[in-house]
Structure 1
């Protein structure tokens, strides 16, 4: 969809006359004449276009500023009303035999419903304002890009200065998010919000979570927060303090050995016991408390869960601790004297500090990558059964000194940056701005218990894109060190695709008493504009977010089966690909073959002929097998007859890794996988022995061996030997693939079929010969008697 059409389809009635007039600005860029647009564009036309652009910018900025002020005033009014209701609720007298003593002024259910409706209306206004800002910002970026391309006059830098004077897209709604969350939580719980410890980590030591991760496009961040807030409040770490922008900032520095990258590869391959060591702090860089953390991966078959353990220490002691000049005993000496923490907890922290210090010194771990993001957490206080966090403005920054640049120097972290996103002072090679937000859904459910229905609907919607096992450390290291990292994570090819999806039917924000707020999630590609440049522009612009709720609407699926019915996401995910044998990822093996062939051609002679023959034979056999499979594959039944979802075609896309690199596809390896490969080999071996025994029985059956018995015994012997050789080869290949965690095909489609065909042919010829010799089939052909 072109942007002009998207703009018309995204118009919100309240802002109908305040949007950018994209068509009018585009009309001003029309240039007549065959000589070329750059030669026909004049100073007069440029001035006319800039004046029109300034007029449009002022109109959008004025409307946004006016609406933002109105929303703030409405939030303050709602706060006073909610506080009044709560005060009346708390002032009720004690409950006696005849009911409350002073219950005449108690708030009614209707009052709570009216408050909830008002808050829902405010939240819908925040959502609409965010969408208004988003589409206008995109429109200005596109029209400037079109201007520079058509006219040859570069306006983008000058327009950036104009945007700073009218920053309609820079308003941060995080403070309003916290206020709306508190008010809605009070109203939703009818004046009895859940209370408990809301700390984000100060009192937490070792903890275990089951986490699923998703990418969220910037266009969907606001709507996603609104939907989550319908069920979970924003987790406020310090409710007694006025919210500041730095309160949501989280920074982590990851350590590794830049010569071996052992921590990177261990976390990427998910090997048993793989570790990640990081230093984390909350807020600005002036904070004194640093958390030293170690994440340890455990395979499921071990019966253990992956664990994150950490302890806190003062920032002034970090260099001495990491260099080994300060021992863990000295760090916890003061804590032991004060006795604020249990002695057992201090002992555990001290042991962890010793282990991390030993690993850093022994393996030569140094800071390599920093991650920064602003986190909005949704959780009931003191209730960790469902916790959802959304990380926005994710940025990775280099911390190393590998290329001769003293970024961190001898310090444990670089000091030239803080939380000043988007870190425009850094050179491009030092920073990676991630284009999406990261949604983490953390669940703690009992065995056999399903996640809440609203969570299942949310993760199946168009707002999120599932990326299992996504890691900020892995992604940052892979993108910031392209010359040193050759093994890439499996989600790297996904970065080049647009993750936006068609809008899920009957799912979204609804204004109380009115229709749902419609937004557009379609592609905003405009004529021949490049999506890559658009994504870069979006990723470097501040994201506008808001949080709220408007009721308890839920999406109903038609014809939902009872019990454990699959949701839409699971049904589509379970569909077979059009070609199930097609691999998703290519490594650099094809490039290696081409390079080897080119080297052989330069050598010439039989070396080149043999290489070329092997390569052509391999390609011909591959095409032959593919064509045979295509002929044998049955024609599919039209999907609409069997299942309405079957009309959704799920196709596979073949990705090519950059030259010299490989994409690592995670493979689940458990002890039972090794046992299964060994058990399969033993089964083949057993059948081969049976077939060999049949050969011995045939040749020794009867008083005098005949030619037929020799031939039958020979046939069975050949089959037994072939089965043995094949089984050994398959077992060696599978064992090697399992040890190296390769995404190989472990099922055998050809071996059993080939074995049974040969065995049936041997038996059939044996029966035919014997039947002919005994006269049951008449005269036996002479060639068969001779054979």
Structure 2
């Protein structure tokens, strides 16, 4: 009964969040229509007055923390899991899997409410009342003017590093963590690692310049003896390597990331850890364009955790439009993750973005004139990631069969189904919706590079599914019948015979293609009847830039290219041996050279051609692998051409022998 009551409260919080969101959007639309119809510009004044009201500024994080505690008490029958909040990350017999997702702001509250039913909110200090700054995390990423660290992390080079300084809470926090991420390829047998050590804020500038030594930084730690000698030696080695990299590579503060993190995890159990980062902001920290931002300090002091940092100019900040969901699983080999996690990650509430990086995104967007190589997700930022519900998943009230998730239509709720006489006096839903959609499409949908924006503002583009649903971009190839099936005029009858022959020819070719053996894809069926449809939209990089597609190049790929070249080389030697043998059997006839001489010449040309082709192909493949270009390494024309040359050489040989007998 308590669990049902809490589920009812969770549904109330979800409804309240959606109610405030819809009302805020409604007020924005009303004033926008007013300015458009009257020609008066009241939106800035109204926006300032609206922002002064606390109606839509309610912070649900405190509610979620309280609900999480209550739900955890009920779920565990009054015996919540106890343990160190930071424990659980040192198991050696676990395989860690990390995936990242984007979450639309409309789905953030609902997603938090769903997760807290399975995992409690991770609170490091349960005796302290929750405050908003407790969730704030800030990081300063270092790089040089050549963006060496950015390019290494983007290309996933072996040993690529990311160095950052991180602190939790407000600017008054005196403990700074110096962290280093190192990427390791799978073929090395090692795992990518993240290591860090603490440093006092007053010593950061001196440490980064080499004036504050590693021995001084760990002198107090050695004196207190809270860590073992081995641990301190490992931390000292890490500190020396970080200090050496900063000084030799001339690394400086480049990008700051700020976000509020809500973590879900059982204390002392790191098998499932889920974190949701909201209000992500990326800020420039460099002085490379002549503008003093951080100056000689390791971070700029004109901002703190006062999101949305309205005091900054637009060129200095990138406000990320989505939340970042990170799911970390530590499961034993062969063990499946929990069913609710699989259901969550495959739902309409999240959009998978593999290998997303805050540092890479911030550098690519804040330095548009310096960065030429872009991450693969950057051109897709204008696409609306909201999706229709593929299966029944969302916040539900107890004993209620109808979902009330944010993606459901209002007409599908039980209240609308149970209403009676009031609906007769209103405009029919279909007609009203049709009028509103047409009006929004005419007045609000604007196109950028031929892509329509989503009605209702927000700056999001319609994706392929939404555009197909609105009836735009209708192709002639999507018609369901041909004109020949209609009434045929006398003019059409004269062309009927060629058309019948064309159809017979096409049908025969289609049957032959079906009979021919070739790989066939497997149709995957899901809850959504349109799940099998694949929507493809080509993306182009801006002029002078390239989109980097993550390509894994392992050593065995290089070895495969070498083996292929050696196979071609062996083929060339065999053909040249045949040519030499034929040349030894040639004799001079009265009418001229023996015909076998021409056969030997044909085999020689084939051997030389195959050798040159193999060398050129090998050099091309090695270059593409070094550049990590997404090209096809299979070859379908070269073998066919060389086999054709072999056939010609053999035919010349037979022709020569036949002519000699004649």
Regarding TM over 0.5, the answer is yes
Contact 1:368 1:399 (C-alpha < 8 Å) held by counterparts: yes
- TM-score by length of structure 1 reads 0.68
Equivalent residues in 2 for 1:342-741, closer than 5 Å: 342-514=228-400, 515-520=402-407, 526-527=440-441, 528-530=443-445, 644=525, 648-701=532-585, 707-741=594-628
Q: Deviations over 1:615-644 (max 9, x none)?
A: xxxxxxxxxxxxxxx99995899x999654
Distance 2:119 2:629 in 1: 41
How far has the Cα of 1:362 moved from its partner?
A: 1.8
Q: Deviations over 1:222-253 (max 9, x none)?
A: 22222222322111111111100111110000
How far has the Cα of 1:173 moved from its partner?
A: 0.9
Which of 161, 169, 194 aligns to 1:308? It is 194
Distance 1:380 1:416 in 2: 37
Which of 760, 774, 784 aligns to 2:647? It is 760
Change (3 A) 1:375 1:682: same
Distance 1:198 1:700 in 2: 84
Change (3 A) 1:535 1:118: same
Which residue number corresponds to residue 135 of structure 1?
22
Contact 2:73 2:80 (C-alpha < 8 Å) held by counterparts: yes
Contact 1:490 1:665 (C-alpha < 8 Å) held by counterparts: yes
Distance 1:267 1:753 in 2: 41
Change (3 A) 1:228 1:767: farther
Change (3 A) 1:160 1:202: farther
Q: Helix, strand or coil: the match of 1:320?
A: helix
- Once the two structures are overlaid, the 10-residue window that deviates more, 710-719 or 762-771, is 762-771
Contact 2:68 2:117 (C-alpha < 8 Å) held by counterparts: no
Q: Deviations over 1:312-338 (max 9, x none)?
A: 121122122222221121121112112
1:249 aligned to 2:133? no
- TM-score by length of structure 2 reads 0.80
Q: Deviations over 1:280-319 (max 9, x none)?
A: 0011111111101111111111110111110112112212
Contact 2:261 2:275 (C-alpha < 8 Å) held by counterparts: yes
Change (3 A) 1:765 1:647: farther
1:264 aligned to 2:150? yes
Contact 1:328 1:350 (C-alpha < 8 Å) held by counterparts: yes
Distance 2:54 2:204 in 1: 40
1:153 aligned to 2:37? no
Q: Deviations over 1:21-56 (max 9, x none)?
A: xxxxxxxxxxxxxxxxxxxxxxxxxxxxxxxxxxxx
Q: Deviations over 1:706-762 (max 9, x none)?
A: 743223222222222211111111100111111222222212122222222332344
Q: Helix, strand or coil: the match of 2:242?
A: helix
How far has the Cα of 1:273 moved from its partner?
A: 0.8
How far has the Cα of 1:152 moved from its partner?
A: 1.9
User: Unmatched 5+ residue regions in structure 2?
Assistant: 410-432, 461-508
Contact 2:587 2:594 (C-alpha < 8 Å) held by counterparts: no
Contact 2:163 2:179 (C-alpha < 8 Å) held by counterparts: yes
Contact 1:255 1:367 (C-alpha < 8 Å) held by counterparts: yes
May I ask how many residue pairs the two structures share in their alignment? Answer: 569
Distance 1:284 1:196 in 2: 27
Distance 1:246 1:196 in 2: 24
Q: Helix, strand or coil: the match of 1:656?
A: coil
Change (3 A) 1:410 1:631: farther
- Once the two structures are overlaid, the 10-residue window that deviates more, 310-319 or 392-401, is 310-319
How far has the Cα of 1:167 moved from its partner?
A: 3.1
